């Protein structure tokens, strides 16, 4: 398979599978919202619930990326600050077909983290100081490709939609439970009958919606892993970064004394898929792609620190409520 063909999302059965999962999970969340509306107010209630979801999504205020980045103390990275990193970012954006390269930001934190914000034509990618200093340029290119894939795939909008539907489901469930309490005497006397299955669904709807939202997040992470690997032609670049992120997340003593310890959170409650499974999928792709890695990221040298001084302080909770 040529690299050009590999970059085409429709040449990958993995991507098609992920897209199908996304449609099913998002459809399940929307269907759950409509079901809650139907239980509360009948068929018209279901329609009103869907209409309310569409209106909320269209007119809900969105926090600008600059405001969020300001909460993290993020600083814009200029081409002369980290020339190798900016060069890689621009080439990845061109490969992804974005209208403009995302603006890169540096976050003064020793943690290993990166995230994307914005739309394809006006996106931002933030990378912590710890990430820049801990990863090689090759590994960092895999992380940047992963974040660019989120931007290209519209995952930021999609997860915003899922969050809106989840919030509306919780609101509808709470409203329905309040109505049940007011009508409890009628239910006990038999004047009004409501199947217990519907009552149980109304009570459990917020939990079911949250689980569907978490599952959707994991699906989008798999899709971004795949998209990033197709952009770089080097799946093991991201795999290497994930290994370092996993070790850094456990901490030194846990890595030495309990190297095989797994994430104690149940798989249903994780926003990200298990690291081992992500690495396994990336390794399975390594033999299927031509090595079209970016020339400047092919070596093992670090990306450099530019004008940024190393952050020595420990991560802590900030007045904004964020931890970095």
For the question of residue 147 being annotated catalytic, the response is: yes
CA 142, distance to chain mean position in Å, is 16
Candidates 147, 254, 276, 277; catalytic one: 147
Residue 315's closest CA among 72, 129, 126, 110? 110
What is the rounded distance in angstroms from the CA atom of residue 35 to the CA atom of residue 17?
Answer: 26
CA atoms 256, 259, 261, 265: torsion sign: positive
What is the three-class DSSP state of 102? coil
Q: Name the CA dihedral angle for 264, 109, 130, 280, rounded to a multiple of 10 degrees.
A: 30
- Active-site residue numbers? 147
């Amino acid at each position: 398979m040529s690299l050009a063909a590999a970059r085409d999302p429709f040449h990958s059965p993995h991507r098609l599978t992920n897209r199908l999962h996304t449609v099913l999970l998002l459809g399940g969340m929307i269907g759950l919202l409509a079901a809650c509306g139907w239980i509360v107010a009948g068929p018209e209630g279901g329609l009103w619930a869907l209409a309310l979801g569409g209106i909320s999504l269209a007119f809900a205020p969105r926090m600008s990326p600059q405001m969020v980045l300001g909460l993290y103390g993020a600083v814009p990275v200029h081409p002369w600050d980290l020339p190798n990193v900016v060069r890689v970012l621009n080439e990845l954006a061109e490969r992804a077909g974005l209208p403009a390269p995302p603006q890169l930001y540096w976050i003064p934190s020793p943690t290993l983290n990166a995230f994307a914000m914005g739309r394809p034509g006006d996106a931002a990618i933030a990378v912590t100081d710890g990430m820049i200093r801990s990863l090689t340029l090759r590994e960092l290119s895999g992380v940047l490709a992963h974040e660019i894939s989120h931007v290209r795939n519209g995952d930021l909008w999609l997860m915003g939609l899922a969050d809106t539907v989840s919030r509306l489901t919780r609101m509808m469930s709470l409203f329905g439970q309040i109505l049940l309490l007011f009508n409890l005497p009628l239910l006990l006397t038999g004047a009004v009958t409501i199947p217990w299955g519907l009552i149980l669904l109304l009570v459990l709807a917020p939990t079911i919606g949250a689980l569907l939202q978490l599952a959707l997040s994991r699906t989008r992470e798999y899709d971004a892993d795949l998209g990033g690997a197709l952009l770089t032609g080097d799946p093991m670049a991201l795999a290497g970064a994930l290994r370092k992120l996993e070790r850094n997340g456990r901490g030194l003593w846990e890595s030495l004394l309990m190297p095989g310890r797994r994430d104690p959170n149940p798989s249903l409650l994780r926003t990200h898929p298990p690291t081992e499974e992500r690495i396994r999928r990336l390794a399975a792709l390594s033999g299927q792609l031509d090595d079209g890695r970016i020339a400047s990221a092919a070596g093992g040298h670090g990306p450099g620190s530019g004008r940024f001084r190393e952050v020595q302080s420990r991560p802590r909770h900030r007045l904004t409520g964020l931890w970095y």
